[in-house]
Chains A and B, each alone.
Chain A
Amino acid sequence: MTFKRYRSLITAGVFAVLMACKPEVDDFSPSGGSHNGTAIDYTTYVALGNSLTAGVSDGAWLSSSQVNAYPQLIANSLQQAGLGASGFNQPLISHSGNEYFGQPLILTNEGPCFTCTQPVVPTSNIYAEHGGFHNMAVSGMKAIEVNNPALAAGLYGYFASQPGVSTVLTDVIALDPTFYTMWLGANDVLGYAQSGGALGSEAITPQEDYEAAISLVLDAMDDKGAKGAILNIPDITEAALFNFIASDLEGVLQLAGQELSEPVLGLVNGFMDEAIGGVKNPTITELVTPSIDIGNGTMINAVAGIVAQIQGSVGDPTYVPKAAEIATAIVYAGAYAEAIEGGANDEMAQAIANAYVASAEGQAAISLLVGIGIDASWATSSVEEAIASSDTYMKSNGSYPVFTMESNQMPVYDETSPTQMRQTAVGSKFTLLAQGKVSALVNVITGGGSLPDDLKEVLPVPTAGEALLADDVKKVQDAVEGYNTFLKEQADARGLAYVDTKSIMSEAAQTGIIIDGVTYTTAYLSGNLFSLDGAHLTQRGYAIIGNLTIQAINAKYNARIPQIQQNDFPVVETTPVTPAPAGSN
């Protein structure tokens, strides 16, 4: 058959094509880049940072997340490319035999669980056996603590070279680093933000202290001739922690699946009127209620009585007492009467009343009365007018919340308010920790129940980390901006890569970012960036940080370090609830 003559030819042709059967994309060709003509040396890569760098996720330092901490991922990429970091060593939690330190939150099929795990703390030091650690991040560390040996009282004690003597910085420098990343500063504002801001006990690290601490690190690295990357500080108030719960009624209702409408407003405002109007301010009612018989059967109110008394004591019936005099006299009279009632004699009662007037509490009461607008005219004003004016005052200072369609900020708990509550300013944040209280409050409001006597039970308490007031949000943001300005200057001056995590986080918060087919936002759970605690990232989130860092290094040094395959890393995972072992607590 003629065809046979061509068969060998066809066979050869098919074979030739087979050789090229699966053409692949070309190989990635890595390179380390250089700075001012000097090649970047990645031999010994070290990382400085806090919980974000240590790989904390879901509220604890998890072994599963630590092994994928972003410095480890960067080291993996460097190793893959043969550029260095070959001995990169982390202070593994697993060396202690534990799976985590802290008390992790878990996601079960019933939802996030805050109490399904047992807390674990490290009880040993692993340096002698495993030491020489390249990821020296310490959860909770502030920048100003980087050279503080006392840090060993906490998690640093688990892997410090000499607990109580060494510092994070001395341990890092002892490794003779050639390359480093530094992400320090979030805790210098986070403590403040999580403890009630100005109301709480924690302070924002002052700019000059922050700069001194950072300079200490950067100078030490310069001395070693190391290059590296500085990650700037994200605006922590954009974290899921501060944004899951709206601080306005409209948002809170939305969470409960309801819409803000005129009828709902009427309901809520009516509820407030009932709870506060004339009920929560009985002392004011008493003050203006005619209840004192001046001797001829004419009843006057307490203010009128006080005014008359003051006029008598100055010997001028036309004297118009100042508000402070009236307020002081009322507070004095109240304390005096209470002491007499309690069994004190006149002398003792006077002493008690004087002491009370001088006390902070007494002064606060005086200020309150002055603030209400108490003056001589109250002596003649009607009960209704007086109450209305006091309500007006309370409404104006937020202790009597009023909700409108346009402005409906929620109140927080405030012990200095006569109503225990204080309506927040726009821009205030409720944190994840306030979730239970806010839903209890919504239930009361929409369900028509009554408020508990202690409003702490239903209102977020700023000092418990449940709310951050607008003024304090601003202070945190200003501090972060100050830190970042300094970090950028230093990065530029010292020839370091600058990783703008703040901009990425803002973009995620405002519009979301899309990377490789996935949309990331700062939303709690659904945003995929933040872990269950709302402040730390998911493993995917950390991989994104790792990639941002690699991109910045590549851009700065004209390097080609391969990217991390971030879709290989999980977001929040389901964890089955394992029953606690018998006898544990």
Chain B
Amino acid sequence: MKLRNLLLSLAAVCIAQASFANGFQVLLQGTKQTGRGNVGVGYGPDASSLFFNPGALSFLESTQIQVGFSPVMSNISYRGLEGSQKYQSTSPMGTPFHAYGVYRPSAESPWAFGLGIFTPFGSTVTYDHDWTGRYSLQEISLQSIYIQPTVSYRIGEKVSVGAGLDIVTGSVVFQKSNTAPGGDINSKIEGNTLQYAFNVGVFAQLNEKLSLGVNYRSGVDMKVEGGDATFNVPNAYIAGVLGMAEGVNTDKFNATLPLPQTIAIGVGYKVTDKLALALDFNYVGWSVYEALEVEFEEFSANNISFDRNWQDSYIINFGAEYNALDDLVVRAGIYYDTTPVRDGYMTPESPDANTIGLTVGASYNIGDHFSIDAAFLYNTKEQRENVIPDGVNTGALNGVYKASAMIPSIAVNYKF
């Protein structure tokens, strides 16, 4: 069976969606890192260090570019708390990508300059429009694209620092139904924003075996102002009662989704010439996400104020690399991603639970300049029950969720 056919059948069987890491994080910024449990802060500089730790860039041997793509096929399974009927999400394939270019004046130069484009946050979840949870969510699509000019400087032989400015473009689509006499009122909001963040890191190659790294990425408030909203009211009389018109009503909305700051530390160790082990620890400041507030300019009776009350979460990543052949590196890894969502605060867009990620990967050199990275990530969340606490309004529904994702990843590298 050809790999191409295999991927096609995979896509056909698992038509699904993209929310797979906890919160709205997307942990797919480098195919090599994906293959080794997403470890990349304190080990193995490559072009995608621009994301994982810009401090490591001036350890690169040469100028290089990398382009990668990680289709996310994920699935959410839901049933009511004491219900026998099961529901599945119908999300389309998610399409996180990454592209990096790093310029090294020379192998000896202390400087490195880079530009990266990547998608560290995002989520696309859809359900059948008439599913039982349609009053909570029919569709959400959050996308963020980070464009990061970066500079790195090596201080002496062992330590280098780096920093990047993130130009963040974001978009949101959120669609749900509202119970109303005369027929459900469908509401949809769509908006875009442009914000700024930054990324700084320190990398140290203490000796031939041991490397360390620290990375900090600032949070950013994804504030949408004057986004487009529509409300579709099927009954003319009810529309009148609500001060609306029959059919589609347009409005503007303001909303903010805070994205968290992350702090990561990592360590890498070469056990033998061929085998290396590496470990990262990420701390993600999701406690910034206290509530989902959407305010409409005209139809303010429809304002949304849902409790979120997320907490900070952490991720432990562990990976191994083995130089199997001269031109082939194979990888494997595992990570444990804790959920920022407290008990009772799960929603159909974030059916979050503690997650285990299992990964494999490989890189193969074709000639001196060209190489291909491939990885596969299987991501499974614990089955989790959601019982909304008294006095809390998350806009969501009680039930039992189980989510999982399968993510192949592929990237090509060119070294000058």
Contacts and interface: CB of A to CB of B under 8 A. Distances in A.
A244 B306 CA distance: 28
Given A25-B86, A562-B82, A517 B181 contact: no
A554 B237 contact: no
Contacts of A3: 328, 364
B84 A572 contact: no
B182 A21 contact: no
A261 interface: no
B77 A23 contact: yes
Contacts of B1: 11
Interface in B96-146: 132-136
Nearest to B360: A13
Given A3-B364, A573-B183, A107 B237 contact: yes
B75 A28 contact: no
B83 A28 contact: yes
A572 B181 contact: yes
Interface string B400-413: 11101010000000
A10 B6 CA distance: 11
A110 interface: yes
Nearest to B384: A25
A499 to B, nearest CB: 16
B133 A567 contact: yes
Interface in A495-519: 514, 516-518
B396 interface: yes
Nearest to A110: B237
B244 to A, nearest CB: 13
B83 A528 contact: no
Given A23-B404, A25-B86, A518 B376 contact: no
A2 interface: yes
B155 interface: no
Contacts of A453: none
A177 B103 CA distance: 83
Interface in B218-251: 234-238, 241, 246
B18 to A, nearest CB: 15
A258 interface: no
Contact of A25 (B13, B360, B383, B397): B383
Given A540-B179, A571-B180, A573-B183, A111 B237 contact: yes
A545 B134 CA distance: 21
A128 interface: no
A565 B83 CA distance: 7
Nearest to B9: A18
A24 B182 CA distance: 35
B393 interface: yes
B29 interface: no
A528 B181 contact: yes
Contacts of A562: 80, 82-85
Contact of B77 (A18, A25, A81): A25
Interface string A92-111: 00000000000000011111
A28 B78 contact: no
Contacts of B86: 24-25
Contacts of A528: 179-181
Contact of B84 (A21, A22, A30, A567): A30
A561 B383 CA distance: 21
A553 B398 CA distance: 19
A574 interface: yes
B72 to A, nearest CB: 14
Contacts of B84: 27-28, 30, 80-81, 562
B10 interface: yes
A142 interface: no
Contacts of B388: 514
Given A24-B86, A562-B84, A567-B135, A574 B234 contact: yes
For chain A, the bracket of interface size reads 35 or more
Contacts of A268: none
Interface-centre pick from B179, B360, B406 (highest chain A CB count, 10 A): B179
A111 B246 CA distance: 13
A7 B3 contact: yes
Interface string B59-97: 000000000000000010111111111101000000000
A25 B79 contact: yes
Interface in B30-86: 75, 77-86
Interface in A1-21: 2-3, 6-7, 10-11, 13-14, 17-18, 20-21
Contacts of B10: 14, 18
Given A22-B75, A517-B136, A565 B179 contact: no
B361 to A, nearest CB: 10
Contacts of A7: 3
Contacts of B234: 574
A517 B394 CA distance: 8
A381 to B, nearest CB: 54
B395 A517 contact: yes
Given A24-B402, A25-B77, A517 B83 contact: no
Contacts of B237: 107-112
Contacts of B82: 28, 550-551, 554, 560-563
Contact of A517 (B80, B362, B396, B404): B396
Nearest to B178: A518
A65 to B, nearest CB: 15
A7 B388 CA distance: 47
A566 to B, nearest CB: 8
Contacts of B330: 6
A26 interface: yes
B327 interface: yes
Contacts of A108: 237
A20 B234 CA distance: 42
Interface-centre pick from B16, B246, B395 (highest chain A CB count, 10 A): B395
Contacts of A18: 10, 13-14, 406
B378 interface: yes
Interface string B174-206: 001001111100000000000000000000000
B377 to A, nearest CB: 10
B239 to A, nearest CB: 9
Contacts of B406: 17-18, 21
A514 B395 CA distance: 8
A573 B184 CA distance: 9
Interface string B362-394: 101000000000001010100100001000010
B132 A568 contact: yes
A108 B239 CA distance: 12
Given A13-B360, A109-B236, A572 B397 contact: no
Interface in A541-585: 550-551, 554, 560-563, 565, 567-568, 571-574
B85 to A, nearest CB: 6
Contact of A107 (B80, B235, B364): B235
Contact of B182 (A28, A514, A551, A572): A572
Contacts of B400: 25-26
B325 interface: yes
A320 B413 CA distance: 119
Contacts of B183: 573-574
B348 to A, nearest CB: 9
A397 interface: no
Contacts of B80: 562-563, 565
Contacts of B85: 562, 565
5 contacts: A21-B75, A107-B182, A112-B237, A528-B179, A565-B132
Interface of B: 1, 3, 6, 10, 13-14, 16, 75, 77-86, 88, 132-136, 176, 179-183, 234-238, 241, 246, 325, 327-328, 330, 360, 362, 364, 376, 378, 380, 383, 388, 393, 395-398, 400-402, 404, 406
Given A28-B82, A107-B182, 11 more contacts: A3-B328, A14-B6, A18-B406, A21-B406, A23-B380, A24-B402, A30-B84, A81-B84, A112-B237, A516-B398, A574-B183
The 10 closest A-B pairs by CB, nearest first: A517-B135, A572-B181, A516-B397, A109-B236, A517-B136, A111-B237, A28-B84, A562-B84, A24-B77, A25-B402
